[in-house]
């Protein structure tokens, strides 16, 4: 059986490892360098009920509460019940989580983050959990396969022809700097991928693990590669998307170029938010103050910033002391100092930033999408576990749990003869990329854009009208502007497609729930407490 995995974060790497170990031949393609993924930037950790004073039931309850009535309970129960085993699997694959030298929970250190009823966050390198997971899983993939560099590196230099295959090469081939362009569809089934260099690769199963689309917004904690490529390609192929209006804005990104993430774990350790008058304003907004759910804290900060002329609020971690900050948060400590701040001596300015997409490609409990032959894992998938607002540190957990399940499922679902049909005619007018269908043509001559369009303009439009707070009037304006724009660059085209999807879904949900806040509909409506599915082939359906 041949499997194509697109994306090299935790979800993609773990799927490749498990499918390979079960006997599949795997092609792992990634747009940038192998470690250039959202996972690398994850700081806080992985949530799991590993300690005797915690329970799966408590983790389920916390996840459901954060999800604001929109979680799929069965998916949440899978996530929390299987989470401890996935953490143990990561340890077996070489992830070096921080230890507490003899405490409960098999010696693992643990932290507390917002909206968790108990400390259950395992972390690595203090605040470098994602980087450590990437290091270990890249090592595991390297043991199972080879590395083929193609296309262009992040510096713009051509890397075609620079190939290296390890001596112990078995069943995994990795192609870096190889972007996804479209999915290849044969008679309603995904049978391969078209890559940005024009080549087509076929497989029995395709797994998208391409992450989120933080580059939709002017302020984001996501890396530059987070342009929603997999979700956009799936949308164009006719796959169902779910809950696309729910984009989570992390409350605390450093208010400096780059929007560096200041982990929620910092507040979990005791840091507090203050306005320009030095007041802890979150005390008046929620009983849990700085440790309220992310949507509550992000909106609280946005309101306070508006009241003080747009100036950032500050995060005050000075009470923790220089030694604690440097030891517990070495990555953040270095980043704040590089930006010119000494956070051990003075509060640092922070602002909300786009962080995580709860919406994405609709999947079942084993990663299957609405298109046969296509699975999705990680942030590009919408499993229903996060509902309207993701609980802190459930993202890496979701990637691990559902990557494991997807790998098992796709192997069980492989064709009896292990082959995929590779020639068929498909109506070019139907969604997706048929085997004999030319690539989609731009609506304008190549190299031209609609008047007023640029990625920066798109990001500012989304930030202002489809950001932390929204209104029907603002969303309608954004939809009108988006309808006049056209993009020819692949990443820009993906972002423009997804911006329209997000805005349309936000307009349709006439309530406020979780990360989706409408100033013209400030309260939740019980009759709308359900997931929203939409596909390119038909009108959005609730």
* DSSP for residue 235: H
- Which phi and psi angles does 400 have, rounded to 5°? -70, -45
CA 323 to chain centre: 32
Separation of alpha carbons 290 and 161, rounded Å: 51
* DSSP for residue 438: P
Q: Which two tokens stand for residue 317?
A: 């971690």
CA 421, 424, 430, 432 torsion-angle sign: positive
Separation of alpha carbons 285 and 296, rounded Å: 8
- Closest by CA to 368, choosing from 206, 226, 243, is 206
- Closest by CA to 198, choosing from 493, 490, 495, 422, is 490
Q: Which two tokens stand for residue 414?
A: 């492989």
Residue 27, Cβ neighbours under 10 Å: how many? 24
- Closest by CA to 111, choosing from 4, 271, 245, is 271
Kindly write down the DSSP assignment for every residue of 468-487, as one continuous string. SSB-HHHHHHHHHHHHT---
Separation of alpha carbons 224 and 410, rounded Å: 30
Residue recorded with tokens 């009823």: 117
CA atoms lying within 13 Å on the CB side of residue 503: 28
Residue recorded with tokens 């190889």: 178
Buried b / exposed e over 379-418, threshold 16 CB at 10 Å, is bbbbbbbbbbbbbbbbbbbbbbbbbbbbbebbbeebeeee
Helix axes 129-144, 73-92, angle to 10 degrees: 70
CA atoms lying within 13 Å on the CB side of residue 398: 32
Who contacts 279 (Cβ-Cβ below 8 Å, separation ≥6)?
none
73 is catalytic: no
Separation of alpha carbons 217 and 464, rounded Å: 9
CA 183 to chain centre: 20
CA dist list (Å): 342 to 316, 325, 332: 11, 11, 11
Query: Could you say which of 135, 294, 368, 513 is catalytic?
Result: 294
- Which phi and psi angles does 510 have, rounded to 5°? -90, 65
Active site residues: 294
């Amino acid at each position: 059986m041949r499997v194509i995995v697109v994306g090299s974060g935790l979800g993609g790497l773990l799927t490749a490892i498990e499918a390979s170990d079960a006997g599949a031949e795997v092609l792992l393609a990634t747009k940038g360098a192998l470690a250039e993924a959202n996972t690398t930037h994850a700081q806080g950790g992985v949530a799991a009920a590993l300690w005797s004073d915690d329970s799966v039931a408590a983790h389920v309850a916390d996840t459901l509460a954060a999800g604001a009535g929109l979680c799929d309970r069965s998916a949440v129960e899978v996530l929390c019940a299987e989470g401890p085993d996935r953490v143990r699997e990561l340890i077996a694959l070489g992830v070096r989580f921080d230890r507490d030298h003899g405490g409960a929970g098999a010696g693992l250190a643990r932290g507390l983050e917002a909206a968790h009823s108990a400390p259950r966050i395992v972390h690595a390198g203090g605040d470098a959990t994602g980087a450590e997971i990437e290091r270990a899983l890249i090592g595991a993939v390297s043991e199972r396969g080879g590395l083929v560099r193609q296309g262009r590196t992040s510096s713009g230099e051509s890397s075609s022809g620079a190939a290296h295959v390890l001596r112990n090469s078995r069943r995994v081939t990795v192609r870096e700097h190889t972007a996804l362009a479209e999915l290849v569809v044969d008679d309603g089934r995904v049978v391969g991928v078209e890559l940005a260099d024009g080549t087509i690769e076929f497989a029995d199963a395709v797994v998208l693990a391409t992450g989120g689309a933080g580059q939709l917004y002017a302020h984001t904690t996501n890396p530059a590669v987070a342009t929603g490529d997999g979700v956009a390609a799936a949308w164009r192929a006719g796959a169902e998307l779910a809950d696309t209006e729910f984009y989570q804005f992390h409350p605390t990104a450093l208010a400096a170029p780059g929007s560096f993430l200041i982990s929620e774990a910092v507040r979990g350790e005791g840091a507090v938010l203050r306005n320009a008058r030095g007041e802890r304003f979150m005390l008046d907004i929620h009983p849990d103050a700085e440790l309220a759910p992310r949507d509550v804290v992000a909106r609280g900060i946005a309101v306070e910033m508006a009241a003080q002329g747009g100036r950032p609020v500050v995060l005050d971690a000075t009470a923790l002391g220089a030694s604690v900050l440097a030891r517990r948060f070495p990555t953040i400590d270095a980043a704040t100092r590089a930006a010119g701040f000494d956070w051990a001596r003075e509060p640092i300015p922070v602002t909300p930033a786009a962080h995580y997409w709860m919406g994405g490609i609709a999947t079942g409990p084993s990663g299957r999408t609405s298109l046969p032959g296509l699975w999705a894992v990680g942030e590009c998938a919408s499993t229903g576990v996060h509902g309207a607002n993701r609980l802190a540190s459930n993202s890496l957990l979701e990637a691990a749990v559902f990557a494991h399940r997807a790998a098992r499922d796709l192997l069980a679902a492989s064709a009896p003869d292990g082959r995929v049909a590779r020639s068929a005619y498909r109506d070019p007018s139907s969604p997706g990329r048929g085997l004999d269908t030319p690539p989609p043509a731009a609506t304008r001559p190549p190299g031209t854009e609609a008047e007023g369009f640029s990625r920066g303009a798109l990001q500012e439009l989304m930030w202002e009208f489809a950001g932390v707070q929204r209104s029907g009037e603002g969303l309608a304006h954004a939809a009108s502007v988006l309808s006049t724009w056209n993009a020819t660059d692949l990443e820009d085209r993906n972002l423009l497609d997804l911006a329209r999807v997000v805005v349309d879904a936000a307009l349709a949900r006439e309530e406020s729930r979780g990360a989706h806040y409408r100033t013209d509909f400030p309260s939740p409506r019980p009759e709308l407490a359900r997931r929203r599915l939409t596909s390119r082939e038909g009108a959005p359906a609730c």
